[in-house]
């Protein structure tokens, strides 16, 4: 279980880091263009991943941790 939580933490960090640096790219390109849609999708999935891996990690940790 420790390995799962450790990998989960690093996946969470990597996805948040990706979203943090991809967001300005999506904002700087022409709205509605192919690049905007591409980087918007990358940002969306990068932000959805931390939410989706938060729940299992929360359920596995003891109360108050």
Would you say residue 57 has pLDDT above 70? no
Against a cut of 0.75, is the pTM above it?
A: no
| Residue that is written with structure tokens 């932000």 in the block | 47
Token pair for residue 43? Answer: 């940002």
Tell me the mean pLDDT in the region 38-53: 90
Tell me the mean pLDDT in the region 40-53: 89
């Amino acid at each position: 279980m420790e390995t799962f939580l450790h990998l989960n933490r690093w996946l969470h960090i990597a996805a948040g880091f990706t979203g943090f640096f991809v967001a300005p790219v999506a904002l700087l390109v022409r709205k509605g263009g192919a690049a905007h849609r591409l980087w918007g999708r990358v940002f969306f999935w990068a932000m959805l991943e931390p939410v989706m891996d938060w729940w299992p990690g929360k359920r596995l940790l003891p109360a108050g941790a």
